[in-house]
Structure 1
Amino acid sequence: MAAETEARVLILYTGGTIGMLKNESGGYAPHPGFLASNLRSQSRFHDPAGESVFANSSSVGAFSQWSTRSHSGTSTPIHPPVFPPEQDPNTIRVETSCGTIHLPALLTPRFAQGKRIRYAIWEYANLIDSSEIEPSDWIKIASDIERNYHSFDGFIILHGTDTLAFSASALSFMLTVILTGAQIPLSELFTDAIDNLLGSLILAGHFIIPEVCLFFDNHLFRGNRSVKASSEDFHAFQSFNLPPLATVGIDVEVAWSQVLRPGPRPFRAHKSLSSDVATLRLFPGITGATIRAFLQPSSIRGVVLESYGAGNAPRRPELLDAFRQANERGVVIVNVSQCEVGSVAPDIYETGRALAAVGIVGGGDMTTECALAKLSYLLSKPELTPAQVRKLLAQPLRGELTPVAPVPTYSSPLDTETRLRTLFSQLVECAPPNSRSSVSPHKVVKPQLTGEDPVLPSEFTSAWPSSLADEDALKAAVLPYMLAQAASRSSELLQTLVTSLSVPIATPILATTATSSHPLALPSLLNEPASVTLQTPLHLAVLALNPHNVDLLLASGASVHVRDTHGHSPLFYAAKAGGTFGLAIVRSLKAAGAHLSEAEVESGQVGLEIVKAEKAVDASAREVWLEAAGEEEVERAKAVLVGLVANS
């Protein structure tokens, strides 16, 4: 397998329109086996031998050769050797609650982004209509992905559209995945299922976006920001208060500044949710008796209150008394707006202030679906008191709401200019003395022009950068290179760069991610490829065996999962380096959630390095690999290598 040109994705088909067929009565219903069979029959989804028109359309010459072979019948059928399931390259190993299964591997033609996607479709035994989804189903999905997390580059959940936004919101507090579905089944000739599934495969296989996302109609939304806005249009989902994280068109455009930074900790799915939550929508004429009856059951622990406009409600005493009494009993109530666009701002109107005065928490611009999921998640943690839950509801945990500063702030371009020039000065100081310019980096050098140099009016000679956008344009071009060079060389310079580029980031307790509104937030810069082999600053710090820089980069948002053109993450290089520094770096990377990829094991590269370490009688080298992979994975990697050698 060409690890550098393939990505592994697991698709979990839970049910929904995308895989339905018409039954005898004329209605759509899920049918076992149809989805996988349909995709296997379509060359755009499965082309293992590279014989499809899609795989031979890179040029006129390639198409002509393919066309000649196709019409002449000269193609030689390939009869692959028969392997046992655990060694069959045409299957993918998947861990289930009942044990290991081996699913048929599907392989796409090469996408324009450079990779083929090797994937498997795990069809749930009991396919369900999304209107019947339950919290227990979300826990099952989270558990299934946790079992297979280390073996795949990405996960896609195929799901019905009716409750897709609810599931995306709930899963955002539990794991990382892409969800999609379709308005028209794949069984129909004209359907949106093809574009939605292909787009999801492109994003899951090519981009490290550590979030729960929802992909629909060429847009990738943050899952807990999305709502279903139409039951008829292909553009069925929208994210009214946050732009799409990515758009798939002629090119794939990712809004990296909006992507949440990866948390510096191992992946762990949260596998419990509270069902003691409900929603209450206000309407004109609602009575205190109605609210009291709604809040009376002892099983109600959390309520999402859908209020008017910017968080307003009637100030009638019987209504406020009902809310106050519930709050005193420990019921947590969060206030969200019935409007699709905008935020709850309880300080603007007296009616909103009245709700806050009786203990109701402002939910900002959270959707109802997300507020319900967040309540369910927080109330499932027995260690949290109602007061702590109320505080956490008002803070972003997974990018689900936009923090609002109490006073608008503005960063002066002059302060930014001074900081930027200082960074360049320190970079020059790290260069060899004979390569430095005699010109101070703090002076502006005018270009030498032929002829007369016109003097411009003062209104056209403002200080540069004249805007924050100008500064960001320069940073985007220069800073990834600067960070990469500093990561592999100077701990002092890297510390200076990280400190200077850091922006205030909300980091509430229990959050595994943090948000930043800065267009060039440090985590996005740290995960930009900085070499011809697409290695990030973290790769380079590992290769330089600099544990201090590795720890600094991890703490600043560097992802441990990015792989270079050779298919390797930083963990592989740290384990291969070995020694005291290698062991320290491996431990740091593992603590941040790093793991060896399935492709590295299946290609025999891990096994080869382990065998080389053992033959060198280097106990410390073997210790590093045991730390990186674990005893069981070390033995499996060696067995894979033996199998590859025997079959070569």
Structure 2
Amino acid sequence: MARATGPERRLLAIYTGGTIGMRSERGVLVPGQGLAAVLRRLPMFHDEDYACACQLPKDTLVLPPASPDQRVIYTVLEWQPLLDSSDMTIAEWAQIAQTIERHYEQYHGFVVIHGTDTMAFAASTLSFVLENLQKPVILTGAQVPIHALWNDGRENLLGALLMAGQYLIPEVCLFFQNQLLRGNRATKVDSRRFAAFCSPNLPPLATVGTDIIINRELVQKIRRKEPLVVHSHVERDVGVLRLYPGIPASLVRAFLQPPLKGVVLETFGSGNAPTKPELLLELRAAAGRGLLIVNCTHCLQGAVTSDYASGAALADAGLVSGFDMTSEAALAKLAYVLGRPGLSLDDRKQLLAQDLRGEMTAPATERRPSLQGSPLGRRVTQFLSLSNSQELDAVRDALLPSLACAAAHAGDLEALQALVEMGSDLGTADFNGQTPLHVAARVGHAGAVSMLLRRGVHVNACDGDGLSPLLLAVRGRHQSVIGLLRAAGACLSPQELEDAGTELCRLASRADGEGLQAWWQAGADLGQLGYDGRSPLQVAESAGNLEVVTLLQQLRGRAGATAPGPVSSHPGGAGGTPVVDAQVPGVGSMFQGLVWGRRWAICSQGTGLQGPSCGPLGQRTHCREWSS
């Protein structure tokens, strides 16, 4: 991060109260006025000779030289009245933002002196309220008053002034105990030690020791020169509800009532909650009437995921994932998003799921480039075709798996064939643990899947996350691919089927017949029970999804509630009796005449296995014949 330039850097220090300036009265600490006068008497905070030479006003102080050619001059603006941070609210933080707005053009940066108890809430709120920020805003305070002989206030305030005056860090930060933290990533973790704050899911932006180390790659960049926008209208009817084991649904219902408009729900572990139907019913009802509920883990580190059935149940109830946001950041974000005028409920949910101010680490969206016809593809091909030196062989071995996955993602059969001719093993996994078959199955390229299967790749290989190509095809609802994989011997592993009941119930509740059909086609038992002990059929009946009820009854009535297994492992009925002869109306997939020991075909334009009843094979030029 570039150092600030210019002989003088002017800062505004907004003193709102807090422990740093408190005095003891009758054995208790109360806010103390006159912080500028206190700092004026401390040489580390004020160079009196320079101030006299420049005729600075009494509320303006100047630090000793930070470097031979630079001075940090700061004006102390004392809040009236001074407040303990426990009394600070969204209204006061909006006023601080408006103060920054009024003085934005006069100063190079801002330091907000604030109490520690709600400092993380303040920093998070300011980060959302101040849009297009291009100057540093740094909050700081103390665990011990600055008047005490042994205190942390002097070090914290001096560090905040120097960081704001010497470095161009265009975001809201928190400086404490020699660390500069992103404001909306910080949380208070200790009430007594000087190291009171931490940033559990993001490293410090800067660390101060004998040297000042700036993590430049973490600091927010100024994307475009736009004026500061202050969103002073923020919603105040927001709250935090922390779940605990055995929490009654009646308490949750009472908390979620109007006028509440947004809630941060602090859940267990990776975003889990009790799966009692009455509790989920209250959450679903609240979300249904427009209450925004953000799911945040009450763990200090980690993120909300959908790895567990209980977490998936919360997502189904309409909760928005808070990923790895702190509760302070999630509450501030809720207030900001709900305060934005003219947005629909879906618009607000989309904003909550986006990283707006660096407050969370959203899941990365995998993007694989296509090699077909691209200059990069041609150059890579030329490079890989060079002589077989030892160095080139090593590079080729490292690149080919990833290139094969990229070609499979694009469905580029010519590129896959070219890689085979270069000596690529199409069954080798790339750095993500995925083989080309995983990639082709996930995106639904039946042609690439067919080619890879003919090359003899391992059909049940697991990727780095333990997922098979078949499960990836099921999730993508690629029924033609599922048929190809099943015919080649693919089957879902016990681990993949472990939570299938809950997923099937979720699909039934959403009337997702296509998803249910994909699981049935992959061999899943549609009678499996979900997390609440109900089957998908019971869920569909209770939800009134009659079409899904009919579909499930039809599917479960065929071959013992499972789809046909792979020809290579299913002997079927004796004497060539069909394993299954089913046509499900309205679903768009047909399995007919799959017979052990007889010829059958994969229809590349259809959506499943096509048997003799499709018409003469010679009339179906798009079909590829197979033999069991």
Shift of 1:276: 1.0
Aligned CA distance change for structure 1 residues 31 and 351 (closer, same or farther; 3 Å): same
Whether the 8 Å CA contact 1:113–1:206 is kept in 2: the answer is no
Instruction: Specify the alignment match of 1:600 in structure 2.
Output: none
Shift of 1:461: 10
Whether the 8 Å CA contact 2:59–2:77 is kept in 1: the answer is no
- Using the alignment, how far apart are the partners of 1:40 and 1:197 within structure 2? 13
Shift of 1:257: 0.8
- Using the alignment, how far apart are the partners of 2:301 and 2:367 within structure 1? 20
Instruction: Specify the alignment match of 2:117 in structure 1.
Output: 162
**Secondary structure class of the residue paired with 2:229:** coil
Shift of 1:420: 14
- Using the alignment, how far apart are the partners of 2:149 and 2:256 within structure 1? 49
Equivalent position to 1:352, from 304, 308, 311: 311
- Note the 1:111-122 alignment, pairs <5 A: 111-112=66-67, 115-122=70-77
Instruction: Specify the alignment match of 1:4 in structure 2.
Output: 6
- Using the alignment, how far apart are the partners of 1:46 and 1:276 within structure 2? 43
**Secondary structure class of the residue paired with 1:365:** coil
Shift of 1:418: 11
- Using the alignment, how far apart are the partners of 1:356 and 1:302 within structure 2? 16
Equivalent position to 2:289, from 329, 348, 356: 329
Instruction: Specify the alignment match of 1:181 in structure 2.
Output: 141
Amino acid at match of 1:322: E
Aligned CA distance change for structure 1 residues 268 and 382 (closer, same or farther; 3 Å): closer
Amino acid at match of 2:44: R
Amino acid at match of 1:36: A
- Using the alignment, how far apart are the partners of 1:260 and 1:165 within structure 2? 19
Whether the 8 Å CA contact 2:50–2:62 is kept in 1: the answer is no
Alignment gaps of 5+ in structure 1: 52-77, 81-87, 92-102, 422-441, 443-456, 468-648
- Using the alignment, how far apart are the partners of 2:220 and 2:214 within structure 1? 12
- Using the alignment, how far apart are the partners of 1:31 and 1:212 within structure 2? 26
Shift of 1:104: 2.9
Shift of 1:398: 0.3
Equivalent position to 1:90, from 15, 38, 56: 56
Shift of 1:382: 2.4
- Note the 1:327-406 alignment, pairs <5 A: 327-346=287-306, 348-405=307-364
Instruction: Specify the alignment match of 2:534 in structure 1.
Output: none
Equivalent position to 1:268, from 229, 239, 242: 229
- Using the alignment, how far apart are the partners of 1:459 and 1:270 within structure 2? 57
- Using the alignment, how far apart are the partners of 2:192 and 2:390 within structure 1? 58
Aligned CA distance change for structure 1 residues 172 and 157 (closer, same or farther; 3 Å): same
Shift of 1:49: 2.4
Q: Larger Rg: 1 or 2?
A: 2
How many residues align? The count is 380
Aligned CA distance change for structure 1 residues 113 and 218 (closer, same or farther; 3 Å): farther
Instruction: Specify the alignment match of 2:44 in structure 1.
Output: 44
Instruction: Specify the alignment match of 1:511 in structure 2.
Output: none
- Using the alignment, how far apart are the partners of 1:419 and 1:47 within structure 2? 65
Query: Larger relative contact order (C-alpha < 8 A, sep ≥ 6)?
Result: 1
Equivalent position to 2:270, from 299, 307, 310: 310
- Using the alignment, how far apart are the partners of 1:112 and 1:234 within structure 2? 28
Instruction: Specify the alignment match of 1:284 in structure 2.
Output: 245
- Note the 1:545-584 alignment, pairs <5 A: none
- Using the alignment, how far apart are the partners of 1:209 and 1:12 within structure 2? 18
Shift of 1:249: 1.1
Alignment gaps of 5+ in structure 2: 384-388, 400-628
- Note the 1:226-625 alignment, pairs <5 A: 226-264=186-224, 265-296=226-257, 298-346=258-306, 348-405=307-364, 458=390
- Using the alignment, how far apart are the partners of 2:170 and 2:394 within structure 1? 41
**Secondary structure class of the residue paired with 1:11:** strand
Aligned CA distance change for structure 1 residues 314 and 210 (closer, same or farther; 3 Å): same
**Secondary structure class of the residue paired with 2:27:** coil
**Secondary structure class of the residue paired with 1:369:** helix
Instruction: Specify the alignment match of 2:150 in structure 1.
Output: 190
Whether the 8 Å CA contact 2:36–2:76 is kept in 1: the answer is yes
Aligned CA distance change for structure 1 residues 47 and 311 (closer, same or farther; 3 Å): same
Instruction: Specify the alignment match of 2:96 in structure 1.
Output: 141
**Secondary structure class of the residue paired with 2:81:** coil
- Using the alignment, how far apart are the partners of 1:131 and 1:139 within structure 2? 16
How many percent identity over aligned positions? 46
Aligned CA distance change for structure 1 residues 329 and 208 (closer, same or farther; 3 Å): same
Instruction: Specify the alignment match of 2:595 in structure 1.
Output: none
Shift of 1:359: 0.6
Whether the 8 Å CA contact 1:48–1:108 is kept in 2: the answer is no
**Secondary structure class of the residue paired with 2:304:** coil
**Secondary structure class of the residue paired with 2:358:** coil
Shift of 1:197: 0.8
Instruction: Specify the alignment match of 1:171 in structure 2.
Output: 126
Instruction: Specify the alignment match of 1:530 in structure 2.
Output: none
- Using the alignment, how far apart are the partners of 1:211 and 1:300 within structure 2? 30
- Using the alignment, how far apart are the partners of 1:462 and 1:202 within structure 2? 50
- Using the alignment, how far apart are the partners of 2:43 and 2:255 within structure 1? 54
| Cα deviation digits, residues 465-495 of structure 1 (max 9, x gap) | x99xxxxxxxxxxxxxxxxxxxxxxxxxxxx
Whether the 8 Å CA contact 1:172–1:224 is kept in 2: the answer is yes
Shift of 1:48: 3.9
**Secondary structure class of the residue paired with 1:121:** strand
**Secondary structure class of the residue paired with 1:151:** coil
- Using the alignment, how far apart are the partners of 1:351 and 1:15 within structure 2? 43
Aligned CA distance change for structure 1 residues 145 and 411 (closer, same or farther; 3 Å): farther
- Using the alignment, how far apart are the partners of 1:145 and 1:246 within structure 2? 23
- Using the alignment, how far apart are the partners of 2:364 and 2:127 within structure 1? 24
Amino acid at match of 1:49: D
Aligned CA distance change for structure 1 residues 201 and 463 (closer, same or farther; 3 Å): farther
Whether the 8 Å CA contact 1:44–1:109 is kept in 2: the answer is yes
Shift of 1:5: 2.0
Amino acid at match of 2:241: L
Higher share in helix: 1
Instruction: Specify the alignment match of 1:561 in structure 2.
Output: none
Shift of 1:328: 1.2
Whether the 8 Å CA contact 2:36–2:59 is kept in 1: the answer is no
- Using the alignment, how far apart are the partners of 1:354 and 1:406 within structure 2? 23
| Cα deviation digits, residues 510-556 of structure 1 (max 9, x gap) | xxxxxxxxxxxxxxxxxxxxxxxxxxxxxxxxxxxxxxxxxxxxxxx
- Using the alignment, how far apart are the partners of 1:404 and 1:287 within structure 2? 33
Shift of 1:292: 1.1
Shift of 1:255: 1.0
Instruction: Specify the alignment match of 1:584 in structure 2.
Output: none
- Using the alignment, how far apart are the partners of 1:104 and 1:200 within structure 2? 18
Aligned CA distance change for structure 1 residues 7 and 291 (closer, same or farther; 3 Å): same
Shift of 1:3: 8.3
- Using the alignment, how far apart are the partners of 2:247 and 2:5 within structure 1? 61
- Note the 1:64-79 alignment, pairs <5 A: none
**Secondary structure class of the residue paired with 1:39:** helix
| Cα deviation digits, residues 10-29 of structure 1 (max 9, x gap) | 10000000011111x12111
State which drifts further: 103-112 or 10-19: 103-112
Whether the 8 Å CA contact 1:278–1:304 is kept in 2: the answer is yes
| Cα deviation digits, residues 416-457 of structure 1 (max 9, x gap) | x99999xxxxxxxxxxxxxxxxxxxx9xxxxxxxxxxxxxx9
| Cα deviation digits, residues 129-182 of structure 1 (max 9, x gap) | 000101110111011110000011110000000000010111101225100000
- Using the alignment, how far apart are the partners of 2:7 and 2:118 within structure 1? 35
- Note the 1:190-229 alignment, pairs <5 A: 190-229=150-189
- Using the alignment, how far apart are the partners of 2:176 and 2:89 within structure 1? 22
| Cα deviation digits, residues 256-296 of structure 1 (max 9, x gap) | 11111224211122111111111111111112211111112
Aligned CA distance change for structure 1 residues 244 and 317 (closer, same or farther; 3 Å): same
- Using the alignment, how far apart are the partners of 1:36 and 1:164 within structure 2? 21
